[in-house]
Amino acid sequence: MAVFCFYFSFNGDKVFAQTAGVVSQADPNSELLQGVQVIEQPLGLPATDIRQIIANIIRIALGLVGIVLVVIIIYGGFLWMTAGGNEEQIGKAKKVLTNAVIGLVIILSAYAIVLFVMRMLGIGVGAPSGVGIAPPGVQNFTGSGALGRVVKDHYPTRGQIDVPRNTKIIVTFFKPIVVDGSWVADTNGNGIFGDCLASSYSGWTWEKDCDALKLDNNYINIAQVTPSSTGLAAETPIRGANLLISKSADASGVEGIYTIVIRPYDYLGSDTEKLKYKVRLGNNIKRDAPNNPGIFANNPGSKFYEWNFTCSTELDLIPPHVTDVYPYAGSTEVKNTVLQISFNEPMDPIGVQGMFATDTAYGYYYLQNGFVYLKSDNSTKPLGGFNLVNNYQTLEFTPSIPCGTNACGGTIYCLPVCDKAGTKCNLDNYQLLLKAAVTIGNGTFESQPLSGIADICGNALDGNNDGKIDTAPNAEPVYDNGKAPDNYWWGFGIENKMDLIPPYLNQIIPGPEASWVSAGEDWSMWFSKRMRIDPMYTITAEESPTPAERCVYYKLGDACVLDLLWQVPFVTFVSSTPPTPPITRTSMRHGPFLDGTPQGYIPLVSSAVEDAHFNCMYPGQGPIGGENYDTDKTSEFCDPVSEKCCIKDGTAVFCCNATAQKENDSALCSQNLNMAPQK
């Protein structure tokens, strides 16, 4: 597996753990440490921060002056001891010792000033500096999407401010969960937990006809947080909330409950002041797995996950719209592709996730219990599933029909093309339609519950983005009659061909060995092709030193728990004119970097990251041209620009910049990336 790792830090202090006597528990032969070793020696240049170099010079200089001072004091003492009553020699000894004491005062004063200045810069001179370390917390983020263990995504996001008062709260897990009567009330009495009755009849209400969440710290709790003069914030649980499930499918096409949608009974916050809320997920939520373990049962850190957000004083009454689709309208794409629809804001997962079923009467395909429709002339039903990813702003369909193997040995999946009985073609037309929710009236985009696609605040989709309320016909066949505002529809061709060109990184921010990185610095990556979003959640970062090592370093005791860096990807696409492929920017939304202490971060982008055609990040091609090409094109990887290929044999099994490399040279490949600003 190829892993791109690039190291950046705040003051380049590699001696942190060594000075403290902390020994890293990482395997010295691991890919991670081998990558760090490669990165620290690019072109023979040192990796040490210039501030630390200056600090070391000052420390050595002060040490030398101190040695000279000791010699002078010894000399003065020698003169006095050997004076034998000689007043002239005693006077000389006193003068030497007096000057030595004055020199000592000057040296200590200089040392104090230097120590103060260096500590303000985050560098320790002599004794280690603890400036910038936050007090020990009570929770780490090993349960968050940062490490790909339990929580994949949630809305509102961590620390988000100005959240609309009429928002829903959404949580998506990496593993399917069990929703039962332990924490959800079957309010509507239909025997299903986490659903609503049809909202079309008179007298329908959320509280009466939709299942309710039982607020509990061991399951899920939502509370308003009020600061207190004692320093301990008071927490007041909300009055109540509905809980709805949104089923979706994993990569193998198996459906499960990965996403839950919580709708508070009352608007959050106030129309006069901004109020803070806390959401807590407990370990009594069970995984849908043998023996139903708690979701945090195997988590090495805390057995819960919680986050805060702050509500604004306003309601969101602005409708959402589509900003980007892939394949593009009117284009022709290969069969090993995903489908992507991006919106300008987070969307409600209800009715947009899951798998297709077939309408046998009219011959089109529709999302089961949902509002997405697909029609193709000569192809059977696409197998796979829709998932709402990218902080709930991109709807991504991942097919599940295996059709090949990528360079990493992973499976490539395809859409069906011309596979209906009796058809003879190599190109089929696909058409998709998104059904907008029906508004409650002509003067607002507020939607009737569960009537179509809406945003996270319940505003109906504005398909043509004109700000006007339009209601498309809903009669069968829905697909044909639905081609009217405010639905959204487009068509494209799928060809019986495959794209097997791997993607590569062409820019990383911060760059390798970057220093002086601020706490809120942009952390992003630019990829050479259109990318799948779901695998982006595998991107993470190792911290050096680790939180455990920091606990030892600062002698915070066995109970010390320092927060790990949390991070969640957010993906944007930059279109280009064919045949130049579009590029993808992945920005990692993250917690504050530790910018007042010696701390390094090693982001890891593995070959699990794939483009929109399931090609993995291997062989690892960077943006700089290379040599050592295989001119007869017999190797696995060919440069798409030069049409030359990288030689791969028993000793050189990694390709970087179309140049044969050894297996563990992925870090060096990353080191050589073009860091010019992206246009």
pLDDT tens, position by position, 192-233: 999 999 887 888 999 999 999 999 999 999 999 998 777 678
Confidence (pTM): 0.74
Angle at 247 between CA 533 and CA 614, to 5 degrees: 30
- Residue 147 pLDDT > 60: no
Listed ranges 4-13, 380-389, 608-617; the one with the highest mean pLDDT: 380-389
pLDDT value at residue 24 = 33
**322-495 under CATH 2.60.40.1220, yes or no:** yes
**36 torsion bin: left (phi>0), alpha (psi -120 to 50), beta (else):** alpha
pLDDT value at residue 7 = 64
pLDDT in tens, 568-600: 999 999 876 666 667 899 999 988 888 766 788
pLDDT value at residue 125 = 42
Reported confidence tier of residue 540, pLDDT bands at 50, 70, 90: confident
**Cβ atoms within 10 Å of 375's Cβ, excluding its own:** 21
SS3 654: strand
pLDDT value at residue 648 = 46
Which residues neighbour 660 within 8 Å (Cβ) at sequence distance 6 or greater?
628, 646, 647, 648, 649, 652, 654
State the chain's maximal CA–CA distance in angstroms.
123
In order, the DSSP letters of 134-185 are PPP-S--STTSTTTTSSEEEEESPTT--SB-TT--EEEEESS-EE--TTTEE
pLDDT value at residue 581 = 67
At residue 68, what are phi and psi to the nearest 5 degrees?
Answer: -60, -40
pLDDT value at residue 293 = 94
**Residue labelled with tokens 């029909």:** 401
pLDDT value at residue 643 = 45
- Residue 661 pLDDT > 50: yes
The encoded tokens of residue 267 equal: 């608007």
Distance CA 443, CA 445 (A): 7
pLDDT value at residue 675 = 32
Strands (E), 421-566: 427-434, 439-441, 444-447, 488-495, 505-509, 524-527, 540-544
Distance CA 237, CA 248 (A): 30
DSSP secondary-structure letter at 453? B
- Residue 372 pLDDT > 60: yes
pLDDT in tens, 279-307: 999 999 999 999 999 998 877 667 888 99
pLDDT value at residue 81 = 85
C-alpha dihedral over 211, 215, 218, 219, to 10 degrees? Answer: 30
More confident residue, 637 or 502: 502
The residue-averaged pLDDT of 145-154 equals: 69
pLDDT in tens, 50-88: 556 676 777 788 778 878 888 888 888 888 888 877 888
Reported confidence tier of residue 563, pLDDT bands at 50, 70, 90: low
The encoded tokens of residue 456 equal: 């996270």
- Residue 607 pLDDT > 90: no
**Cβ atoms within 10 Å of 237's Cβ, excluding its own:** 14
pLDDT value at residue 627 = 37
SS3 311: strand
pLDDT value at residue 557 = 62
**Residue labelled with tokens 């058809």:** 423
- Residue 15 pLDDT > 70: no
pLDDT value at residue 84 = 79
Share of the chain above pLDDT 70, in %: 74
- Residue 48 pLDDT > 60: no
pLDDT value at residue 518 = 87
Which residues neighbour 579 within 8 Å (Cβ) at sequence distance 6 or greater?
none
Rg (CA), the chain: 31
pLDDT in tens, 240-254: 999 999 998 876 667
Per domain, the residue ranges of the chain are 3-48+501-671, 50-120, 151-311, 322-495
**Residue labelled with tokens 């601020």:** 518
The residue-averaged pLDDT of 406-433 equals: 92
Which residues neighbour 555 within 8 Å (Cβ) at sequence distance 6 or greater?
none
